[in-house]
Structure 1
Amino acid sequence: MGILRLSVFYATLFNSLYKYQDKLINMIRIFILALISALCPSYSEAKNPPGVMPTTSGELVITFDARIGNKDFALNQDFNIGSQTLNFNKLRYWVSNLVLITVQGTEYIVPDSYFLMEEVDDLNLSGTIKDKMTYPANKRETITLKNVPAGKYKSVKFSIGVDSKFNDNLSLRAGELTIANGMSSIVWMWHSSYIFSSIAGSVKQGAETKDFKVETGLNANYQTRTVDFPAPINSTASKGIVLNVDVAKVFDGIDLIKTPLINAMTAPLMTSVANNQATKAIVFGSETK
């Protein structure tokens, strides 16, 4: 009799377990997930595996705020830089290959990121594309990045100029790259490569005044700059970031009265200007919300 009762008990138990096996499995799963979350907080916080960007996205605006020291940059206005007074009529440079870096080190590479930043009056481009062509006055300091993966970003990486793939073959197109804006070098009437940056105006020291033009180019002067943020920027909560571009620092170590024309013919000075742009001129400014 005792054996019979025991058999009935186990049979009932197994039937109950079989009946509620789905609920038991779910309870075990919940227990395991709760245990993992408790032991590994970073697991519960990470919405994506390492190296995988989130699927949700938004918009982020990057502003390259041109300045002279603590003053806003402007055309046709005198600025004292050291012992010299500079007056600008042109500021142009390519920003390329933008990369946003998350706090985990994952990189979001902005596709086709070639942007012409500029502040210019009307430019006469005669002899570059077709005669009597005028490039209209323009001021452009912002880049609007769309479809930026949601996340916390610690830095932005970019280059001043155009990489060799496109610099050596002007027939290729990406982003805003074109020879129709006067930002390409011409040798024997051929557009040979892109001008990475071009700054022009007049410089005065004492009684002496000269027109100046400072241009950079060549693959050797293509440099990448990484700007770290003082605190992580949440792409879903932030509208954008401001990078301060101190034009005065572009001319560190350069005497424009002595050498008012800087280009490929003055290669060492052109390299100095490119180095200044990459290492000194551009720093983090602020976050916009």
Structure 2
Amino acid sequence: MKRFLTFALAAALFSSCSDDDDNQIVTPVTPGEMSLTLDARIGNEDFALNKDFAVAGQTLNFNKLRYWVSNVVLVDTKGAEYKVPDSYFLMEEVSDLDLSGTINDKMTYPANKRETITLKNIPAGEYKTIKFGIGVDSKYNDNLSLRTGELTIANGMSNIAWMWHSSYLFTSVGGTVKKGADSKAFTAETGLNANYKTVSIDLPTPVNSSTSKGFVLNLDVIKVFDGIDVMANPAINAMTAPLMSTVSTNYATKAIIFGSEAK
């Protein structure tokens, strides 16, 4: 009798599952990793330090390119947003930087090139848009003692002289500019809360987190200076607020475009 009842129960359960074709079991997919690459360019050329680039009658030679990428958000095809936690990353291409505070306190930041970051624990799905900030949002920019992601003042991306309070540098690019016989050192730095900008890139086709390694975007450094004569304006910072605002806007609206899908 017990065997008969067991068999009958099993048969009933099997029949119930077989008759309901709409009730399909979905196996959960473990969140994975995706990369975000910002490939620095000079027009159609690859960006490089200590190399001459001829642009609009001037010759630019760079010794640094540094900027914060923050608050990364992925938008799927249904419009749902996934905010990557603690996503504050320093992107850069620099030679050794002297960050000495005094002659007796020598500190050297080592040469580094970083164009790719890893986004962890990304939910499985198809993503159509990627958003992120250029710079540091006011919560952390107004209080350098707060820590999240890679934020730290130890890398020299902060300034204690701007607008009577300490804050992060959002972007910093510099080198030399030549025009004819004239040559000048130039530095373009941005910061301050009003210049925190959000980039939003719509992808030509959605990217599937299960089959793609990530996203590749292009950063055209020359477009950072769109509308600005670098020779005439070799020092861009908080003391030249309109120019700093222009550079910040250029980062967000002109310099960064879709490159390709990482394979």
Q: TM-score, normalised by structure 2?
A: 0.90
Q: What residue number does 2:5 align with?
A: none
Task: Please tell me the residue identity of whatever aligns with 1:259.
Answer: N
Aligned equivalent of 1:254, options 228, 240, 261? 228
Is residue 139 of structure 1 aligned with residue 132 of structure 2?
no
CA RMSD of superposed structures (Å)? 2.4
Q: What residue number does 1:67 align with?
A: 41
Q: What residue number does 2:127 align with?
A: 153
Aligned equivalent of 1:195, options 169, 173, 181? 169
Q: What residue number does 1:106 align with?
A: 80
Is residue 92 of structure 1 aligned with residue 92 of structure 2?
no
Instruction: State the Cα distance separating 1:242 from its structure 2 match.
Output: 0.8
Instruction: State the Cα distance separating 1:55 from its structure 2 match.
Output: 5.2
Task: Please tell me the residue identity of whatever aligns with 2:32.
Answer: G
Task: Please tell me the residue identity of whatever aligns with 1:222.
Answer: Y
* Counterpart contact for 1:120–1:137, Cα < 8 Å: yes
Structure number with the higher helix fraction is 1
Instruction: State the Cα distance separating 1:131 from its structure 2 match.
Output: 2.1
Q: What residue number does 1:167 align with?
A: 141
Q: Take 1:223 and 1:213, find their aligned partners in 2: how far apart are those partners?
A: 20
Q: TM-score, normalised by structure 1?
A: 0.82
Q: Take 2:133 and 2:86, find their aligned partners in 1: how far apart are those partners?
A: 13
Q: Take 1:123 and 1:149, find their aligned partners in 2: how far apart are those partners?
A: 38
Structure 2, gaps ≥5 residues long: 1-7
Q: Take 1:110 and 1:55, find their aligned partners in 2: how far apart are those partners?
A: 18
Deviations 1:120-141 (A, max 9, x none): 000000128x821110011011
Instruction: State the Cα distance separating 1:21 from its structure 2 match.
Output: 9.3
Task: Please tell me the residue identity of whatever aligns with 2:70.
Answer: S
The 5-angstrom pairing of residues 273-284 of structure 1 reads 273-284=247-258
Q: Take 1:272 and 1:30, find their aligned partners in 2: how far apart are those partners?
A: 64
Aligned equivalent of 1:231, options 173, 180, 205? 205
The 5-angstrom pairing of residues 14-93 of structure 1 reads 31=19, 33-34=21-22, 56-93=30-67
* Counterpart contact for 1:197–1:217, Cα < 8 Å: yes
**Change over 3 Å in CA distance of 1:70–1:136 after alignment to 2:** same
Q: Alignment length, in residue pairs?
A: 256
Task: Please tell me the residue identity of whatever aligns with 1:202.
Answer: T
* Counterpart contact for 1:184–1:191, Cα < 8 Å: no
Q: Take 1:203 and 1:250, find their aligned partners in 2: how far apart are those partners?
A: 15
SS of residue paired to 1:178: coil
Instruction: State the Cα distance separating 1:187 from its structure 2 match.
Output: 2.3
Q: Take 2:230 and 2:33, find their aligned partners in 1: how far apart are those partners?
A: 41
* Counterpart contact for 1:101–1:108, Cα < 8 Å: yes
Instruction: State the Cα distance separating 1:264 from its structure 2 match.
Output: 0.3
Instruction: State the Cα distance separating 1:206 from its structure 2 match.
Output: 1.4
SS of residue paired to 2:140: helix
Structure 1, gaps ≥5 residues long: 1-19, 38-43, 49-53
* Counterpart contact for 1:153–1:233, Cα < 8 Å: yes
Q: Take 1:127 and 1:96, find their aligned partners in 2: how far apart are those partners?
A: 27
Is residue 178 of structure 1 aligned with residue 152 of structure 2?
yes
Q: What residue number does 1:213 align with?
A: 187
